[in-house]
Amino acid sequence: MKYINVIDAKEKFSELVTLLSDPLEEVYLTFQGKPIIKMSPIKEDLPRVKEEKPVTSRRRLFGIAKDKHDLPPNFDELFNAMDAEIWRDVADSYEVKK
């Protein structure tokens, strides 16, 4: 039976797992000197589980929607007209001083 501070357990997690590979070992995690978690190895034979991969990045992937949408054949004309209209609205919203 061992007592390990939660912060130390976090910093040395792989050593903690190795320690718990002994089927007779028990570890108590402590917080501010008080035991809060009892850890012990699993003694029965359980089936393997599929491990999920952790999300490592939340960046957007470029090209994720490639070939998913059909654009109208005159998309460029529509886009340029819309762009020109937006810029006209922006210019109209400012006073031009002479």
Instruction: State residue 79's pLDDT score.
Output: 76
Q: Which residues pair with 3 in a beta bridge?
A: 28
pTM of the predicted model, to two decimals? 0.47
- What is the average pLDDT across 18-41? 91
H-type alpha helices, the chain: 6-11, 13-19, 75-92
CA dist 42 and 20 (Å) reads: 9
Instruction: State residue 6's pLDDT score.
Output: 92
Instruction: State residue 34's pLDDT score.
Output: 95
Q: Which residues pair with 38 in a beta bridge?
A: 28
Report whether pLDDT(56) > 90.
Answer: no
- What is the average pLDDT across 53-64? 71
